Structure 1
Amino acid sequence: MARPPSEHVQVVKQKLIARLNDGLHRPGSRFMSNRAIAEQYQISYQTAHRLVTQLVDEGLLERRPRAGTYVAGEQHGFKRVHLLFNKRARRADSFGFRLMNCLKTALSDAGFQVQVSLLGNDETIKLSEKYYPIIWELPAMVQASIQWGGHALLLNERVEHGLSSLRIDSISVDDLLGGVMAAEMIASRLPQGCKCVIHAGPRDDARSQARVQGFRKRLSARVVHAPTWYLDDASASVNRCMKLKPDAIFACNDRLAQAVLEYCKDKAVSLPMLIGFDDAPIAETLHLSSIAIPWKAFAESTLRLVKQRLDGDHSSGTDVILRPHPVMRLTM
């Protein structure tokens, strides 16, 4: 007659069951391998195999030939993609417009069905288990997706992770590195001791803070904050920048750089060396040097995550951080 399992093995089995009931393991998601169970709980491989077999027999797990062990149960996987963008993406020369159309084209070309919704900052819509939501610049929708509890993808930002946001994926840019690049570009073209000014975004914006920090790792600079990222709100801050009589200005996005260009044109004053950030369509129109978002890599990373989630992967969220690159135009 087989010996009853030891107390330790019984405790391990209860821990595995608790793990399956913790809300983080959805039907169809991959479970721990026998080897991982053995190593984590200090039992033999054979005992781990026996425990997994028991959980399979009890209907909690299922084995797939040559694939591994998965959580049993009916799967409610995503079938389509829902792009949820801020209404600002309607503007044809904007960052959001370029990003939205870049992703829509890439996803459609890859055979994914795509729905697009344009919302205001504080607007929300009901999320569906049939659609994998991809969110850009919608704070209220970010919070709604966290409360919803399903997977969602944030573009060009990262969420502060905790238990409530374990299912949030993100794709963003290394803003600190971009700031370093901007400083090095200016340092290579101006003599030592040149006066630099940073036309920064809002004080509490994490992206702006990282870009400023990166720049100041290489060059000293005065920082002037704009109240928002938008051109229409930058008149006072660009006036303060120009009163400092800088030799070079690093604008933390292309719209803030555009404000400098328009100020110099309106006042008929010389343009200091100028570099923006994002390489939005307006940068090319204005012949503006910029630290560029890697658009192709952005689309490729999005495609990989979409495929992963639509294939039924319910593992914890993934953060993808991309490296920007400099684009040289007339303002340098």
Structure 2
Amino acid sequence: MRKVVWIAIGVLILQLGFIASYVAAFHQPSPHEIPIAVVAEQGLPAGLDTDTVAKLNAIEGTPLSARTASSTAQARDLIRNRDVLGAYIVSPAGTDTLITASAAGSSISAALESVFTEIEQTQNRQFVVRDDIPVGIHDNRGLSGFYLAVGWVVGGYLLAAAIGLLVGAPKSRRDAAAQLGIFAGYSVLSGALGAFIVTHLLGTFAGHWFPLWLLGTAVVFATSVFTLGLRAAIGVAAVPIAIIVFVILGNPSAGGAFGPNVLPEFYAAVGRWITPGIGTEGVRSIVYFSGTGLGQPALALALYSVVGIGLLFAFSKSRVASPEIEKPEPLPVS
């Protein structure tokens, strides 16, 4: 009975952590330091772009992080290269243009529109919005990539948790290698089928099956192997830790339709280093930005994999090196 009580307490802690983490991340999203380029078209006073940048950066709460661009073409290049998330083109005609990229986060685009609506009202000017990189017609608010990444992550840590609980940690390096091979095969299959669903069955990301397959394989492998290595190192406590990392922290910090510039600073900082956020960002990079920005996700997935494999083989080896001392058989009673 005591064990049941402790299990109930542990589950309650995880449940409350889940509620607190999700509500803290999403209850009041607000823009902060959204990178944006400012262009002053010909016919305007010299230095107007610099003055505009200074005024935008001085807005209370620092919702924007503005910089100048020499032309509209350069501003668009900055958006495509993911150096900025929008551009503000000041026109001598009095009707300015706000260029956004909803594919980088629909909430960021909405936040930019809200900020510039307030700015233009105080200056008696007007602006039009041009979404240069919109989300796909079958990708409502850009959430499909988030759910795809979460599906891959859930499969990864559930497989590792199930094997750890039902089979146990590997007792030798041979067992560790065998389990690693199973995880690798599962990751390839899981990545391929997940990508197939969103590209061929649903048509959400048509034309991107192969790179999404590679991404999915890496996400599943990194998540599962890290959990497996943790299981070998610390035992069954690895399961709640995996839930805390990948679910309680990882899912809300991934953002979904929210980009990091509208999440609280803590979630924005950790989200890009936890596999749900890594996968979400990877999908965006592949589908909408021609692979731009994949370097950091690739590095993070490699780190998870290396650490997981290192823990797996290190603790499997220690079990072999430190066998239990056999107790002598009792003497026969005469």
What is the TM-score normalised by the length of structure 1? 0.28
Q: Which has the larger share of strand?
A: 1
Q: Which has the higher contact order (CA 8 A, sep 6+)?
A: 2
What is the TM-score normalised by the length of structure 2? 0.28
